[in-house]
Every structure is written in structure tokens, then in C-alpha cells.
Amino acid sequence: MKKYNIAIIGATGAVGQEMLKILEERNFPIKDLKLLASSRSAGTKVEFKGKEYTIEETKEDSFENIDIVLCAAENEISEKFSPIAVKAGAVVVDNSSAFRSNDNVPLVIPEVNGEDVKNHKGIIANPNCSTTIALTAVNELNKYGKIKRMIVTTFQAVSGAGVNGIKELDQQVKDISQGKDVDVDTFQHQIAYNVIPQIGHADEVGYFEEEMKLQIEGRKILHNPDLKVNCTCVRVPVYRSHSESITIETEKEISPEKARELLSKAEGVKLVDDLDNNMYPMPLNATDQDLIYVGRVRKDISGDNSLVLWCSGDQVRKGAATNAVQIAEVLVKENLV
């Protein structure tokens, strides 16, 4: 099997570290591995498959002889270095939001629109984690009866805000247990024993930026420019894995029984829907694996051709790192690199 030279930008961050873990788990065909990060992380030692690697500072000359770049850095880093990597001959799979809305950049969930990888011009974008979880969950339903409208509420774990989100929840719980005042830094309000219905900045009509991503990205991924989405995003005091309540309105009726049949065979999905035994998706169960757990499938009693479901998925893995590695696997399988 042919092997490839891989570089990871942001290799010391949470998603970059998860990418390394996924590459090893899935036995990706790596010839040489280059781990890149900021100047302050340069020199750090990282182990991969029993071999020690040294983190290098990301520079303009970092991409010579690299085949695939997995970018786990913030927008400004990706905007700067992704075009440089492409010019050097690499294909970039970018986890930031820098290129998601670019008409010339495919936005890909392999289980949903993996064929779009073939249209790349050097950069392929990873969707927002909540988008990936939602669209993986409803993909087979959309194939059976095209989705016209989605009403979604997301329940997003603190790790979605990075390691500081986890630290803040931990510290606040400790401080409260000791009767101390809590410090608020990462989030807008205390997150311990609380929920915060704000992720990002508000637009002129009162939607936060995280809430618009599902409609913008969903239209592109599903090739459905008329898709309508109403989304509310909520930060919850859960360490890892996002959950979502999703109502879909479809062009033709899908019974709950038919939906369960479709979901039981859906790629990337695990149907967990046994109310008699209290079985339904929960973030604890969905954590540290790559399937989107889907359950609580039921008819929407407030509308026609409408279903309700509940799903949970690991936003660090399938919502970010695994999805990027899966895109790289498509590149390899289809000889696109």
C-alpha cells in the first residue's frame, strides 16, 4: 500500500492530539509525519506509534514533500498557512471555519457527501461539529424523504470551548463545594450547575453565530439551497459530547417505524431507542467513539410530515478529528492526492 507524508498544524491542541490518536487507531498509511504548532510549543516531544516526534514551529517552508495537511489550528493560522501548503503541493483538510463558506472549497462529511471531495482545489473543509453530528444523524432520512426544514436545539459540552472550558467547569464545581465565589472567564456566566443559551456573538436579529452554522453549512453539504433551519445553541455543564434535539419536516411522510429502520442501517449511526429499558442516546455513552447515537424517534404531533429525534455524538472525535481523518482516507482511496 502506498504511504503518505502527513503534517498536522496545531498538533499540540485538543483536536490535533485527537487526530494523532485517530490516525493510529485507523492505521492510516503514513510514510513520514510532521507535527507543527506555535513557536511556544516547538521542541515539545510527542509519541506516535512508539516513535518520538519533536514539535516544529509552523513556518512557510514547513510543507515541502507533504502530501496531506490536517489543520487543527484557528482561522487566522489556517488562512495564512493552508494556501501556502497547497502551493507546495499538499492537500489541506481544514478543521477551522476559515474556508467553509468558500464556493471553491468542498465542505464534507464523508458519510453524507463524500463524493464532494473529488471537487477539491487543494483545500477541503471540515464542518462545524454540531453540523456534523446533526447531518450524520438525519442523512438517511433525508435520502428517503428530502428535508425541507429543521428545528434544532443543541446541548454543547464545555470541551467545545477547548481545554479552558473543562478547567473552568472543574474549578467552579470545586469552588462552589467549598463555599467560595466562582471566577468566570471562558464563558459568559457561571457554567457549573447552569446552562448558557449563547455560543458566539449575536447578529442583528438575535441569533448567535453558532446557531446560523447549521443552516449555512447544511445547505452546502446536502446540496439543498432551500433548506430552512431554526437553531438554538446551549452550553451545558457536560465535559464531552454534544447532544441535539432535532425536528425535521420532510417532503413525504416518514413514519417513526420507517425512520428506525433507516437509522438502524445508516452509516455512522447507532440506533439507541428502547424506551421500555430506558435506552436512548446520552453524552456519556457517545464519548470516545465515532458513531452518532440516535434515539427518541417519534412523530411530531404538532405538524405534518414531521419527525422528532434526539442524538449525541463526540464533538472532538467525529465532530472534528475523525471526520478530518475520514476525509483524508477518501483522498487516499480515490487517488486524489
In the chain, what are the domain boundaries?
4-127+320-333, 131-315
Place of cell 434526539: 310
- Evaluate the CA torsion angle 162, 156, 232, 16 in order and state its sign: positive
The pLDDT of 34-60, averaged and rounded, is 95
For 227-240, the pLDDT digits (tens) are 999 999 999 999 99
CB 41 within 8 A of CB 55: yes
Note the pLDDT of residue 230.
97
User: What contacts 113, CB < 8 A, 6 or more positions away?
Assistant: 106, 221, 222, 223
Over 90: is that where the pLDDT of 285 sits? yes
CATH class of 4-127+320-333: alpha beta
The CA distance from 89 to 228, in Å, is 38
Cα atoms found within 13 Å of the Cα of residue 45, Cβ hemisphere only: 4
Note the pLDDT of residue 184.
97
Annotated active-site residue in 129, 231, 233, 311: 129
CB 308 within 8 A of CB 302: no
CATH topology of domain 131-315: Dihydrodipicolinate Reductase; domain 2 (3.30.360)
Reported as a pLDDT band with limits 50, 70 and 90, residue 162 is confident
For 81-127, the pLDDT digits (tens) are 999 999 999 999 999 999 999 999 999 999 999 999 999 999 999 99
Reported as a pLDDT band with limits 50, 70 and 90, residue 1 is confident
CB 44 within 8 A of CB 8: no
Over 90: is that where the pLDDT of 53 sits? yes
Confirm whether 120 is a catalytic residue. Answer: no
Confirm whether 311 is a catalytic residue. Answer: no
% pLDDT > 70, the chain: 100
User: What contacts 93, CB < 8 A, 6 or more positions away?
Assistant: 68, 69, 70, 71, 124, 126, 324, 327, 328, 331
% pLDDT > 90, the chain: 99
Annotated active-site residue in 120, 231, 233, 242: 242
The pLDDT of 202-212, averaged and rounded, is 94
